[in-house]
Amino acid sequence: MSVAISVIIPVYRDAAALARTLAATDFSGADIVVVATPDEDMGAALRFVPSGVDIVCVTATRGRARQMNAGAAVARGQWLVFLHADTRLPCGWTGQIAAADRDPRVNAGCFRFALDSRALFARLIERGVRARVALLGLPYGDQALFVRRASFDALQGYADLPIMEDVDLVRRLRRGGRLFRSALSAITSARRWERDGWVARTCRHLALILLYFCGVPPARLIRLDPGRRAHPVPPPGRMSL
């Protein structure tokens, strides 16, 4: 069964990671929407797009939620895959989305989380993520979330949050359908753990999610994340498509 798929990749000062992802991933059977900030130079990265792959590059103001909503607005697929610039999709990934499409109860899905590091701590993090998804049904954006277009539109896309936009979307999707969990792994770069320290970055992630579930608003949480704290804090409400 043929399924129309759009892969949406938000980019902020990460053209080099995007180039590696485009070179290493087989995007056959899908179209790609790259959403960059206005000051991003995408020329070098886009040279790695294989011939025959349909790609569109659009711009949007900084903010992962805003950029992914902007990409969804021009995407044509029945399924939308939200892919981080430093995450590689596995071989056979389109077949997993076709399998999800065959079950009308499924409105979203994710791949297994894996890091491109041989460090023991990487394996511990991977096991922790798999336990979280199995017990709580809560994947994060670095697992290449894929969503039925109809369900995404019905929810008006991502909430315009500076952080936790992926958690918010998954929680809303779960109220109206099932989550498809692929056994294939999407491989994310471990560079940020290696830069910040395995323990320090993991503890910060755990603190952020715990504070979020305790009701601390994302506008305050963003101050605790050095990589995203310069993000413009949006007004209340969602960005509609």
Look at residue 190 and tell me if it is in a domain: yes
Closest CA to 22 of 62, 54, 61, 65: 54
Look at residue 240 and tell me if it is in a domain: no
The DSSP symbol for 178 reads E
**Any idea what the CATH number is for the domain that residue 124 is in?**
3.90.550.10
For 1-26, how does the pLDDT look when each residue is reduced to its tens digit (9 = 90+)? 478 999 999 999 888 888 888 888 88
Closest CA to 48 of 14, 28, 29, 23: 23
For 129-179, how does the pLDDT look when each residue is reduced to its tens digit (9 = 90+)? 999 999 999 999 999 999 999 999 999 999 999 999 999 999 999 999 999
Task: Look up the domain containing 191 and give its range.
Answer: 5-224
Separate counts of helices (H) and strands (E) for the chain? 10, 8
Look at residue 205 and tell me if it is in a domain: yes
What pLDDT is recorded for position 29? 84
- At a CB cut-off of 8 Å and minimum separation 6, what does 154 contact? 176
Tokens standing for 151? 């369900």
Look at residue 232 and tell me if it is in a domain: no
- What whole-number distance in Å separates Cα of residue 163 and Cα of residue 26? 29
Look at residue 238 and tell me if it is in a domain: no
CB 162 within 8 A of CB 63: yes
Question: What is the value of pTM for the model shown?
Answer: 0.90
Look at residue 19 and tell me if it is in a domain: yes
- From residue 228, how far is each of 8, 12, 17, 61, 225 by CA, in Å? 20, 10, 17, 14, 6
For 59-118, how does the pLDDT look when each residue is reduced to its tens digit (9 = 90+)? 999 999 999 999 999 999 999 999 999 999 999 999 999 999 999 999 999 999 999 999
- Do you know the residue count of the chain? 241
What pLDDT is recorded for position 42? 75
Name which residue leads in pLDDT, 50 or 139: 139
Pinpoint the alpha helices (H) of the chain: 15-24, 43-46, 64-74, 93-101, 120-136, 149-154, 165-174, 191-196, 198-213, 218-221
- From residue 210, how far is each of 12, 175, 231 by CA, in Å? 26, 21, 21
Closest CA to 89 of 1, 194, 179, 7: 7
Q: How many structural domains compose the chain?
A: 1
**Strand arrangement, sheet containing 178-188:** 54-59, 30-36, 5-11, 79-82, 145-148, 106-115, 178-188, 87-88
Q: Residue type at 234?
A: P
What pLDDT is recorded for position 23? 85
Look at residue 117 and tell me if it is in a domain: yes
Closest CA to 10 of 26, 30, 34: 34
Look at residue 23 and tell me if it is in a domain: yes
Q: What is the mean pLDDT of residues 210-234?
A: 77
